Amino acid sequence: MLISHSTEILLKNAILQLAAAGIDGAAGDARLLAEHVLGITREARLAGYTGELSEEKAQAFRRAVGRRAGGEPVSKITGRRSFWKHDFIVTRDTLDPRPDTETLIEAALHFFPDPSKALNILDLGAGSGCLLLSLLGEYPRSFGLGVDLSPAALDVAKRNCLQLGLEKRCVFRQGNWCEGIKGKYDLIVANPPYIPSGAIAGLLPDVRDYDPLPALDGGGDGLEAYRLIIPQAVELLASGGLLALEAGAGQERDIQEIGVRAGLKSLPSRADLAGIARAVLFSTHPRS
């Protein structure tokens, strides 16, 4: 059965509904949902596609728009999120990959500019695996270990690993940060929880209500995870290696102090597009 409204009208109504709900980027979100639910590609939209849809498809699209209007992120509706060069599977068990975290990849590429270098990479709190898998894509001779406390998140990371064909160069295991890990790693990356506990309630609903709380809550001052990770990482970081940690706004200096006290050499941080020191970086001191 066809409905009388064209896809163009459905899309316009969706944009109005999302804008009325206060959703930033209403038009972009509506188009992403149309692509996912209705199967209408960007190319088709640019070509002026205005075809009609079955009632079933139209209702499915309206339900998806309603979920977004209620604050649910597009990524949690579609089950996908773009990060660096790929689309990753995401669920409510994983932190949504965000552009800020790409700063860690940029820092690694600057520190290790040779893509043929064979690195041993460790990703702490791997979540969806987006960070480790993106790095393995940039360094095709490298191998990686991703660690996360959540079995559900690890399941998602393994699916992403298989999707990208990286299963021969990557292992995911359950663990609490560095506990039980042996060996030396040239590159250690982590996006720890860094939101102070008291600030969780004030986060935007699409973060507070849909990202897993353990991936957000950094304790009283937001630095609890760094105090655990950094001293442990010192023992795992190879000579001349890089430890790259994502940080929240205003946390750079405190994290640097933790690293220096642990015996690491603090490197200049890397800022995100908003000018926030997002990647706090350390290396080992040169041998005398």
Tens digit of pLDDT for each residue in 21-39?
Answer: 999 999 999 999 998 888 8
Q: What is the pLDDT of residue 41?
A: 61
Backbone phi, psi, residue 272, to 5°: -85, -175
Q: CA 278 to CA 98: how far, in whole Å?
A: 12
**Contact yes or no for 18/72 (Cβ under 8 A):** no
> Low-confidence residues of the chain, pLDDT below 70?
1-5, 40-52, 286-288
- 150 within 8 A of 95, measured Cβ to Cβ: no
- The pLDDT of residue 52 is 65
How big is the chain by its Cα radius of gyration, in Å? 21
Residues 6+ positions from 153 with CB-CB distance below 8 Å: 93, 94, 126, 127, 128, 212
182: amino acid identity, one letter: K
For residues 192 and 260, what is the distance between their CA atoms, to the nearest angstrom? Answer: 18
User: What phi and psi values does residue 20 have, to the nearest 5 degrees?
Assistant: -65, -25
Domains along the chain? 2-70 (1.10.8), 80-283 (3.40.50.150)
